[in-house]
Amino acid sequence: MIISISSGKGGTGKTTIGTNLALSLEGVQYVDCDVEEPNGHIFLKPQIEERISVGIPVPQVDKSKCTYCGECAKVCEFNAIVVVKEQVLFFPELCHACGGCSYICPEDAIEEVEREIGVIERGKAGGIEFVHGILNVGEPMAPPLIRTEKKFIDNGKTVIIDSSPGTSCPVVEAVKGSDFCLLVTEPTPFGLNDLRLAVEMVRKLNIPLGVLVNCCDIGDKEVWQYCEYESIPVLMEIPHDRGIAEAYSKGIPLVEEIPEYRSRFQDLYNQIEKRLQEESG
Ligand code: SF4
Ligand code: SF4
């Protein structure tokens, strides 16, 4: 089973939930797809065993063959390649590696070369199989890195995917294909606003979802009212607690600091499993 953990807004405790859920279960693979800011490793402290460079194919023009006809620039939807007089200009950060320019070039003057966008690291954190992607600084192409990272998913395990917050392309890439999406929110007007957007995204992907309310004793009751109205199950509530905040600030997993939470996370998993069994009939 693949469970993705996501949130409409940052700072709701998504990584805390993902890592502690992983630490509470057996036979787990934790895949951190928050490639711009992967921080699950801070809590899980994995031993990294393998490092894989990930690149995308980008064009390289052979000037000796190029006639500056401009066909490559015409086909590029992203303005990543421009022909100006006797020069072909290439803007790598705009290139989506679609291959259109090399396909269209009448002189066969474009060859594709690999441009590194980030790395994937794999290892073990106790009994947990650990995978995370790290996007190069300033690199906008997160989705190809996430796609490559998800090829390492082990379907024989319970897989927990930690996505980045929001509803943009990297989040969609991380969440799609999961069996269940757990949305972490806070009971504030900001939390509710961003939860609505996240629910819309997950529903468009046709993935069953549930909500975890973090810092459940602050703010107002509108998140619960919204979930009831939308028939979204609230599967777990975690209070605002100084002990939890202190453990977080030291990079100590919640289930190590307050062991009672282990059974609460197991119960969360059981609820998700039961719901999926009921849905599949
Ligand atoms: S399509 Fe090929 S030949 Fe034409 S400008 Fe581009 S690289 Fe040069
Ligand atoms: S590979 Fe696609 S996106 Fe990149 S420069 Fe060529 S046409 Fe543009």
pLDDT in tens, 151-183: 999 999 999 999 999 999 999 999 999 999 999
96 lines ligand 2 (CB under 6 A): yes
Q: Which residue has the tokens 């599949």?
A: 280
Q: So what's the pLDDT on residue 132? A: 98
For residue 134, give the DSSP letter.
E
Instruction: State the pLDDT at residue 249.
Output: 87
Substitution candidate for ligand 2 out of 79, 81, 115 with most atoms within 8 A of CB: 81
CA–centroid distance, residue 68 to ligand 1 (Å): 5
Q: Among residues 104, 33, 39, which one has the least CA distance to residue 249? A: 39
* Test site for ligand 2: of 60, 74, 93, 101, most ligand atoms within 8 A of the Cβ: 101
Ligand closest to the CA atom of residue 65: 1
Instruction: Please list the pLDDT of the chain residue by residue as tens digits (281 residues).
Output: 999 999 987 888 899 999 999 999 999 999 999 999 999 999 999 999 999 999 999 999 999 999 999 999 999 999 999 999 889 999 999 999 999 999 999 999 999 999 999 999 999 999 999 999 999 998 989 999 999 999 999 999 999 999 999 999 999 999 999 999 999 999 999 999 999 999 999 999 999 999 999 999 888 999 999 999 999 999 999 999 888 888 888 889 999 999 999 999 999 999 999 999 988 77
Residue 248 is predicted with a pLDDT of 85
> What is the structure's pLDDT at 191?
92
CA of 64 to the centre of ligand 1 (A): 11
* Rg of the chain taking only CA atoms, in angstroms: 22
CA–CA separation, 13 vs 25, rounded Å? 19
The number of the ligand nearest the C-alpha atom of 92 reads 2
For residue 109, the CA-to-ligand 1 centroid distance in Å is 6
Strand partners, 214: 238
Q: Provide the CATH topology of domain 63-108.
A: Alpha-Beta Plaits (3.30.70)
Please tell me the distance from the alpha carbon of residue 183 to that of residue 14, in angstroms, as a whole number.
8
Q: Return the ligand number nearest the Cα of 113.
A: 2
pLDDT at 271: 97
Please tell me if the CB atom of residue 56 comes closer than 6 angstroms to any atom of ligand 2: no
DSSP lists the bridge partners of residue 90 as 81
**Closest CA to ligand 1's atom 2:** 105
- CA 81 to ligand 1 centroid distance, Å: 10
pLDDT given for residue 222 in this prediction: 95
Ligand 1 pocket: which residues have CB below 6 Å? 61, 66-72, 83, 88, 105, 107, 109-110
Which long-range CB contacts under 8 A does 50-53 form with residues at least 24 apart?
Answer: 50/121, 50/122, 50/123, 51/119, 51/120, 51/121, 52/119, 52/120, 52/121, 52/122, 53/116, 53/119
Q: Tell me how far apart the alpha carbons of residues 174 and 161 are, in angstroms, rounded to a whole number.
A: 7
Which pair of tokens denotes residue 250?
Answer: 């030291």
**Residue spans per domain, the chain:** 2-54+119-279, 63-108
Strands (E) across the chain are located at 2-6, 28-32, 47-61, 81-84, 87-90, 110-125, 128-135, 158-162, 180-185, 209-214, 234-238
CATH code: domain 2-54+119-279 is: 3.40.50.300
Q: Largest Cα–Cα distance of the chain, in whole Å?
A: 70
Burial of 209 (0-12, 13-18, 19+ CB in 10 A): buried
Atom in ligand 1 nearest the alpha carbon of residue 73: 6
d(CA 96, CA 168): 16
Under 8 Å between Cβ of 200 and 175: no
So what's the pLDDT on residue 42?
95
- For the Cβ of 131 lying below 6 angstroms from any atom of ligand 2, the answer is no
Report the pLDDT value the prediction gives residue 280, as an integer from 0 to 100. Answer: 79
